[in-house]
Structure 1
Amino acid sequence: MKQSSDTTMKEISEEFGKYPEIPESHMMQAIGIILNHFNTAKGSTIETAVQDFIKFYELAEGVEMKKIGE
């Protein structure tokens, strides 16, 4: 069963909330990338899609992101 987009957006927002350093300006781009990844990658979850975006973000920006609690 396919999740509703509202539920998916809520889950993405919650997962991104674990990485407070991400600028708001990057969020829409990130959400597009994550939704594309989530919809095309077998076995992908919201969490793994967000983690993949974080890896790309770190490489592009030359920073290291820390998840809340780490």
Structure 2
Amino acid sequence: AGTVLVDHDGGTVEVRAGQSVLTRGGERIRYSCGPEGAEYVAVCLPAFRPDTVHRDEDDATSAGEVPQ
């Protein structure tokens, strides 16, 4: 019942249950949950590989990962 906020090059989109958002390859994307939390599935086509994804160091740290 919560929302997912999708920040991308075109702005920020608030996505609610049953909705979807389409972004383009090469865009910077950041997902966050609204105050109620949310469960979501991100589908990437074509799929990216962990060794080719462009991840900001700050985002990796906030997700509990250790930047390399």
TM bracket, shorter-chain basis: under 0.3
TM-score by length of 2: 0.24
Larger % of strand: which? Answer: 2
Q: Which has the higher contact order (CA 8 A, sep 6+)?
A: 1
- Structure that is richer in helix per residue: 1
